[in-house]
Amino acid sequence: MSFQFLLAPGPYHLLSYGTLLGSTLFQSFIGGIIAFRVLPRSSFSQLQQATFPTFFAMQSFLPVAMALTYPGARLDSVTSSAWHLGYILREENRWSVAVPIGVMLVTGLANWLWIGPETTRVMRERKHQETRDGKKAHDKGPQSPEMQKLNKSFMRLHGASTLVNLSGFVAMVAYGFTLGARL
């Protein structure tokens, strides 16, 4: 039995894309929403703090894997020399391949390296401020000026992360049409 099919880039590309799309779809629209609804706020916060670094790292590494395994052309030979990063940079692939994969990479990196850690930092500051104020960040009634500032910062970062994640998801779906047309 020949195992030359293991050398073809296509399966690795498809698995990378499927993992990226599936995990993003689940975390963003199913698992995260259910966890928010059923877990106490502190448990939800701990879950997200533990999950997001890995999730955002995956969102950063999988587009790289996709770029490196992009099958440049349909070839008759399973073992081809189609493993070539230059294929995604070709003029005919710029908008349908390079841009969506680039958007996926940039959005993953933005959440992993900046927005996610900054959000976690603000969440920790809010926790300390809750101790100082004797009141939760989400409690009704007037908040201290410090907590108001932290809440505003958290909401801004959370909104930015959501928008960045949604942009990456749109790029994933758009790329899915490109990939599907090749099958």
Evaluate if residue 80 carries a pLDDT over 60: no
Tell which residue, 29, 168, 72, has the closest CA to residue 176: 168
The average pLDDT across 101-110 equals 98
Least confident of 71-80, 92-101, 127-136, 144-153: 71-80
Phi, psi of 71 (to 5 degrees): -75, 110
Evaluate if residue 8 carries a pLDDT over 90: no
Question: What's the pLDDT at 87?
Answer: 80
Evaluate if residue 22 carries a pLDDT over 90: yes
End-to-end CA distance of the chain: give it in Å, rounded: 25
Q: Are 162 and 18 in contact, with CB atoms under 8 Å apart?
A: no
183 vs 74: which has the higher pLDDT: 183
CA 44 to chain centre: 19
pLDDT > 70 in the chain, percent: 93
Provide the mean pLDDT of the chain.
91
Round to whole Å and give the CA distance between 160 and 152. 12
40: left (phi over 0), alpha (psi -120 to 50) or beta: beta
Question: What's the pLDDT at 76?
Answer: 44
Question: What's the pLDDT at 116?
Answer: 97
Question: What's the pLDDT at 29?
Answer: 97
Round to whole Å and give the CA distance between 150 and 158. 12
Taking residue 138's Cβ as centre, other Cβ atoms within 10 Å add up to: 11
